[in-house]
Amino acid sequence: MYEVEIKVPADVDAVRERLREAGAERVDARRQRDAYYDAPHRDFAETDEALRVRRESPLPDGIGGEAESAPAGADPAPETTKLTYKGPLLDEGSKTRAEHETEVDDGEAMAGALSGLGFEPAAVVEKRREFWSFAGFTVTLDRVEGVGEFVEIEREVDDEGAIEATRDEALAALDRLGLDGDSQVRTSYLGLLLADGEGSE
């Protein structure tokens, strides 16, 4: 599975209004706390890989706290945990990577297993996110602590040969939202946070 993704800095409130005007649907909103790990056998910063444990909980009113009803089908459950591995960037024109993700029943047990194998916590990224469905893509409005506001547009594809066409469609969708794909940021939120010296466990 390949995640074709483009991320640009943006005013998320303005983009939310454009999404509404375009008839897009808000499908979810969540608070996420991502703990990233360093590997004992190679340097992920050099190999451009990432391993994280994500804990997330629903935000029924969205990331701005505006008075909206909860999205249809919103998950009322408490915090959930997922383990994710992201491979190196595959495409110079986007943030496309191979990605493997699975839900974890016990976040503390997962952290203990990683620690026992020699994986050490590197940094924590905290963000509030709204997920919208638009033009066949997931558009995510992000407020990231210590980093700023961004919009991500993404779609998963099974075939590596579909990456380029999907990237071009994503750029066209961004343009319809008044966003400039040329301003994209290929550095991860982790990288942006560490560049500012804000990463902590």
Question: Could you give the residue numbers annotated as active site?
Answer: 36
Alpha helices per DSSP H over the chain:
12-21, 44-47, 107-116, 163-176, 189-195
Identify the three-state secondary structure at position 72: coil
Would you say 132 and 140 are in contact if contact means Cβ atoms under 8 Å apart?
A: yes
Dihedral angle of Cα 190, 193, 152, 133, to the nearest 10 degrees: 80
In degrees rounded to 5, what are phi and psi of residue 34? -105, 115
Which of left, alpha, beta for 73 (phi over 0: left; psi -120 to 50: alpha)?
Answer: left
Tokens of 83: 């383990």
CA dist 40 and 42 (Å) reads 6
CA dist 28 and 139 (Å) reads 11
CA dist 121 and 127 (Å) reads 18
